[in-house]
Structure 1
Amino acid sequence: MADSTPSQYTIMTNAALALIKQLVDAKNRIKSFRAVASDANHFTDDQEAIAEMTAVDSVKQDGVIQDIQDDGDTKSYIQIDFDQSKIDTAYQLQTVGLFATDEKGKEILYAVECLEHPQYMDVSTTMDMNSHFIHIIVGNTQQLDVSLTPAGTVSVAQLESKLTDYVKTDDVEKLIPATVIDGSKPADFKEAVTLEKGAVDGAGNAIATTKNLADGDATTLKAAKAYADTKISGKADDSAVVHTADMRKPANQVASIDEVNAKQDKLDYTPANAANVVHRNPDTGSVSEPVDFTKLTVNGGKSVATSDDLKSIEASAWRVLTPSMSSVNSDIKSETILYQVDTTNKCLNIMISMYVNDTYKSANYPSSIPCVPLESIITGISSMTLIAFSNNPIFSIGQAGTTNASSAKLYAPVTYSGTTLAFKSDGYGGWDGLKLIGTGHIVISSDNDADTAPYGKIYYTGLQDGIIQ
């Protein structure tokens, strides 16, 4: 009923045993778990009395089910995290209660973890997780339908939600009302466009308006037609042009070009500047060069983000990496890396959280223990500012072949080999090695004050392709 260690044990309740029988017979399913932390001491209680418990007294905070892994066909282990930044008052954690809800919506107290030595839970201003790994019996792991709530990590969905206020380049045309311009075609305006400074052709010559033509004399119009004929490959459709006979006023009542110019010189206006207008290909109707829309806005003044804006946001975003530890160190059960790429200073701003599963299996004390693979992010390391911290005394230093020369440490320096980080044992009074002596939670961050610089820095020699688009 209990899996015991020298300092803690877990009891499955009688209600859990009844549910387990239903799971074995495939007559029920577990839909969800929840966990609570308490400062009540049950370590010395009679185990049968603990098995009869249906509730946990003196609850101080709720936990987060971070991970569930099958341990064979009938057992599972559950990672429960308690975030110290979510509490207002410090307390001594001595009991963890795990509740289960079946497919009928009924919740029971499933398991109770009792600690001989309480863990002090101090109030923290930053994310500081206290992790518990509880091994439980479920009878039939196929009857688990449990969803996780990975608090304390940045998921892809959370990152995408932060980018929803920014407009993608492909969506710009969708935000411009169709009554103004057809965004699928180059400069296809749906309404009349007023060019305040007039219009010119590619050579800078003023383009005549219909009014200019209506006010011109016959001689001038014929000359204009002859000029136009030299500029196009085909002749104008005679049925689609304005003839002298079609004009409402006789030619003797139409001002000459000289008269128009004389009056035009008296007008207060500035001719159009070719550099300030949109040019269109007369054959295709498309804009012949890029158009710089300064301070373009849509939907009542909302700024439009450019592709460069979005790339800048993506490049500076915090990212999550959960590497496989099988090829580096199988004694590290799980690991989460939160990092940000600083291309200006060629460094990674980084925080690493890991759970050490068991004693490091080595007869000797190695000078370093590999712990974090980074080959998927960078190609090499030039320097770094990192140190490893632990709430539990799980680091030990000593000499090769010596069994009684170790001393507990709450921290260890961090070194590297290639693109893999490792715990290091330099500077401990001549001892020539280090190993892990227990089970617990380790954080790797800045080697400065963690309250003012919670993340460390790794200066890289190069990034892997695709890290920065």
Structure 2
Amino acid sequence: MAKYNNSVLTTAGLALANRAAKGVTKFKITKVTSTADVVADSTITALTKLPNEVQVGTITGEQPLPDGDGTITGTKVLFVNHKLQTSYRINAVGLYAVEEGGPEFLYAVITAVEPEFMPDFSDQVLMEFGMTIYIVVGQVESMSIVVAPESFATVAYVDKAIADHQVVFPKTLTYSDKNEVITGTWQFKNGAVDGEGNAIATAKDVSDGDAEALTSAKDYADTKISGKADDSKVVHTADMRKPASDVVGLEDVPQAVVHSALASGVDLNTVVTPGVYPFAGVHLTNYIDNATYWGYVVVTSGGGIVTQKVHTIGSILPLYRMQSGPTMSWSRWVGTADDGRVAHLYGSNNFDTTPTVNNNPLLLASSLPSDLARLSQDANFTAKLQQNGQDVALANNTIARNPNTGVVSEPVDFTKLTVNGGKSVATSDDLKSVEESAWRELDLSGTSGIYTGKILIKIDQVNKYVYFMMNAQIPRNACSQGTKIIDLSNVVTGLSSAHGYLQGWLDDREMPYNIQGSTITVSGACLTIGEGYSGSGASRIATEADPNKQYCYAVYDDLVNN
């Protein structure tokens, strides 16, 4: 299927459109031509004639924009292969114009993305290719289109077409919605009914009916004649919960604006009119990648901010970005936060629910069970100590120690010490390793960052990563590019890089007030706001991992006191 780019005005065409916009001149679109040459976009403005023209097409009419934009109009053109001797591909099409009192010149050019193939007429097979070329004309009132005479229908042709298709109805035709006098006898095979579907009694039915049936029929007829309504089937104003003046009709309910489907390759930077834009099996320019997607874009606008939220098949949460600031620049695409998966801090910076990983509660150093046995302390085992199912107290496994001091006189190495039916006993080294690799609270009191509450961190000594999570209140208007958010100097000696980004909220609004649009950067041992920050006024900041990552993290140099 052929596909063409938007039209580009030549230098002469642009100057004419500007004069027409000011109402100082008028012009006509007079001719359309085609060429097999590939015309570079960068050369169009300087053209005065389409190079190596192959055909002169036919202008068949005008096609204004549906939205009533008076600065742009469409010219409907047609190319036919009749008498064409050599096949070619329509790589470019040119529109020519004539200004009042001036010569004909090249006004605009469109180039092909996927050109239409126009075969020669050697096989006597007729091929037609039509298209509508939309061009900027300044104002439609200053422009007219010269339509080819063969595109018009003659008066004689129209009169003959009407006569050939005229239908003459008989004078005796009866209309069901008009009063009619029926002079003949009508027979109803299935019986006649009234407007409510009730059977109409015939003279025979009345003559054969008993007194009760006739009385019931009379009552029914009296009700119909008097116009008395059935009270049980009438809606009374007293029964309405709202007065009629407060009831909203369907015509008063605004409907969401659903725009035409987005074409493949459309630049999302240009989609800024509020509404819903569906798309199916397309790739989108200025999106996260060039893959093919199905879904829709929701665009909102207000207060100098334009937002885009893209919902796609296969993605649990949509991606979001915002256009704002003095230059109306776009932020980066980010995943919207799932409130059910974000850690919340309240009061004295304690989590309102127990933090979990894969639905398993995090093990904090302060949460170790009180009855955990430690080799550095006395432990009273209520169950027997065994080894391979055997009591430790066997004669060949006794431990020699001083009966007065309790000091073991000989060193003993327990390779498989268990309690309570085979449960392993943790050593102090085991506990230290668990504590170092577990999530734990870090108190930032007295540090140099703007947030001095508590956050969660986890140390990965193998990769030299420090993972961190934060969702907490900060002083309003305290953020700008380079601001130190978190100071980790009590944990690490320095940071070389950080991975993740920040989201800011105004107070406790559900949706982000401002997507910062920049990865977190580092300065010394501090996490800072990087380039791309464009918002202010945030009073709550949350960390958000990079796409396809589970947590934010920074690469550290060394641990403090390591």
Return the TM-score normalized by structure 2: 0.27
Instruction: Name which one, 1 or 2, has greater alpha-carbon Rg.
Output: 2
Return the TM-score normalized by structure 1: 0.32
